[in-house]
Amino acid sequence: MKTHGNRILNCLAVMAAAFAASTALCAAQTVTEVVVDSTAFIERAPVVDSTLAGADIFNLIDEAAGATVSIRQSPAVRTALENQIAGNPQRKIYGFRVRIYFNNSQNARSGSQAVAEEFATLHPQMRVYRSYTSPYFKVTVGDFRTKGEAQRFADSIRGEYPSVFLVRETINYPEI
């Protein structure tokens, strides 16, 4: 009888391990299919709208045409967000910037300074980064989370700076 009890316990342990493994395998997949009475239901991972990433939703709601929206939110929520951002001023994330100057000629140093100053006066809301990596002087602008945001901005300034191109870099934490 003792042997029979051990076999049952071993069988239950194997079944539990198999169930745990199958559960972990299902959890790792983003698409699951359930068939019930010849009807298939496919569950997909949620899609995120990245065009709103970094946007101030409060300003977007106010700007909506003909919309009247009242938001009742504890001031502690916005204060917590502002404290989180203020507490991490040096935090970096991967994103994109727009390169507006890239040169290694003899007057490249003064040229990069002039381009950086000109851009800063034309676009005071945008950060300007001037760098030197031997033998090139570079001026790069913006902190964009997505390639699409960077591309839209590059297209908007292509008339002023015809040789603009995108670069993937570590960017500063976006301002709110």
Tokens of 99: 């390169």
155, 171 Cβ separation under 8 angstroms: no
Question: Which residue matches tokens 């945008």?
Answer: 126
Q: pLDDT tens digits for 14-59?
A: 555 555 544 544 444 445 555 555 555 555 655 556 666 666 666 6
Domain boundaries of the chain, sorted by first residue: 2-43, 50-86, 92-172
The predicted model scores a pTM of 0.52
Judged by DSSP in three states, 82 sits in helix
Q: Which CATH class is domain 92-172?
A: alpha beta
CA distance 174 to 127: 11
CA distance 151 to 164: 10
